Amino acid sequence: MTYENEKHSVAAITEYERRTTAMTDSLTYIVQPGGALRGRIRVPGDKSISHRSIMLGSIAEGTTEITGFLEGEDNLATLNAFRAMGVQIEGPVDGSVSVHGVGLHGLHKPAEPLYLGNSGTSMRLLTGLLSGQAFDVEMTGDASLSKRPMRRVTVPLAQMGAEVETQDNGTPPLKVKGGAKLKGIDYTMPVASAQVKSCLLLAGLYAEGRTCVTEPAPTRDHTERMLTGFGYPVYRTGSTVCVEPGGTLRGMRIDVPADISSATFFMVGASIAPGSDVVLEHVGINPTRIGVINILRLMGADITLMNERDVGGEPVADIRVRAAQLKGIRIPEDQVPLAIDEFPAIFVAAACAEGETVLTGAEELRVKESDRIQVMADGLTTLGIDARPTPDGIVIRGGQLGSGEVHSHDDHRIAMSFTMAALRASGSITIHNCATVNTSFPGFVDLSRTAGINLETQSP
């Protein structure tokens, strides 16, 4: 059967199933070797755009209708946070959500601390938005989020006049004091980060004077695009983006494209597995997010963009990927911010490539849900690959992936990356602590099976 007449989609996952899976911390994947990926695949909606659609829809005037919303744990954490602050939100039902906005100053103090689970995006962006509110609020998270650094947002927010308390080491819980008089600043980010940029722009909506953020390298620009879509002026000059207070957001319709980060796993899987031929449908190809396509093409991947179009201000395409012999490369540093979330999967591609792949300039990977450089190096080494971590990257020499047990360290992207590795392994791969896959990709197991991966799950 060819890819033209096959059709796969992500099955809806119930709230009960989602919560049950999230509580099963010891969920294990057992993936048998071999196979090929074929067919038409629709991965879930873009995680970053889903977060922002709830946030901006909540502080807009009027109703925002969202389709394609990602019903993963992280995005539901954002949705529930705004419900707790008095926003009426209907859904999600099959990816459809209605947000009845309360305006820039219509949020209310939540009755309890906002629990954001594993979502660093929720916490960092909300810290900026909540710095301009009249009420105090505390934000907490799970064990993983409670270890993640927050000074990258609290330090520049303090320069704006915000009062945010962290733990002594700069980690959550965070306590944001209401009533602060924010002032606009010109901030040059020391490290490229869309979360930091977005945090400061959201705070800038409430500040006196202009707030400008200068990036050392391009990062995803969903916040700027969506603010513009909501009718709020955004000013960009070169690498600097600015906002001013006094504008109004107006409710709108948002069709969330499929998440390129989720599509990445199948792009890599199809590239490394002989006989593979897949089409990934309706994938967002925002120029600030296509580093993975650029990097895989440099490695020799056979990737074709089809049916390119614009949906709600975001470029979208269907992506066809066929198996190819990859080669090791030195990854250009200017592509690192454009692929920062996709590197665990890219490391699997490197492990299957001829020669050596070298990554530098990616120290940000060490402070994600896990230390993704070290965790991937450990797992690849267990599977027989020469993978040597460096302070800001990794050196991987391609070879034959073997069999073994690896640990995801409760990192969803690690778990899904090693699932794809089994397509080229000589034996089965067992991946521990995979429950967090639902933070970004509900339905991953079923979709992987349908596409051609021999994947079983095991829980107590």
Q: 340-353, pLDDT tens digit by residue?
A: 999 999 999 999 99
Bridge partners, 432 (sequence order):
407
Residue 145 confidence (pLDDT): 94
Q: Is 341 a catalytic residue?
A: yes
* Token pair listed for 115: 């629990």
CATH superfamily, domain at 47-254: Enolpyruvate transferase domain (3.65.10.10)
Give pLDDT < 70 ranges for the chain. 1-25
Buried b (16+ CB within 10 A) or exposed e, 434-445: bbbbbbbbbbbb
Estimate to the nearest angstrom the gap between the alpha carbon of 30 and the chain centroid: 24
The dihedrals phi and psi of 405, each to the nearest 5 degrees, come to -110, 130
Q: Provide the CA 199 distance to its chain's centre, in angstroms.
A: 16
Shared fold status for 3-46+257-458 and 47-254: yes
For residues 228 and 93, give the distance between their C-alpha atoms in angstroms, rounded to a whole number: 27
Catalytic residue among 142, 221, 318, 341: 341
What is the residue extent of each domain of the chain?
Answer: 3-46+257-458, 47-254
The CATH fold assigned to 3-46+257-458 is UDP-n-acetylglucosamine1-carboxyvinyl-transferase; Chain (3.65.10)
Q: What is the pTM of this model?
A: 0.82
Q: Strand 386-390 vs strand 393-397: parallel, antiparallel, or unpaired?
A: antiparallel
Give Cβ neighbours of residue 166 (< 8 Å, ≥ 6 apart): 150, 151, 154, 172, 173, 174
Residue 446 DSSP label: H
User: Would you state the pLDDT for residue 181?
Assistant: 96
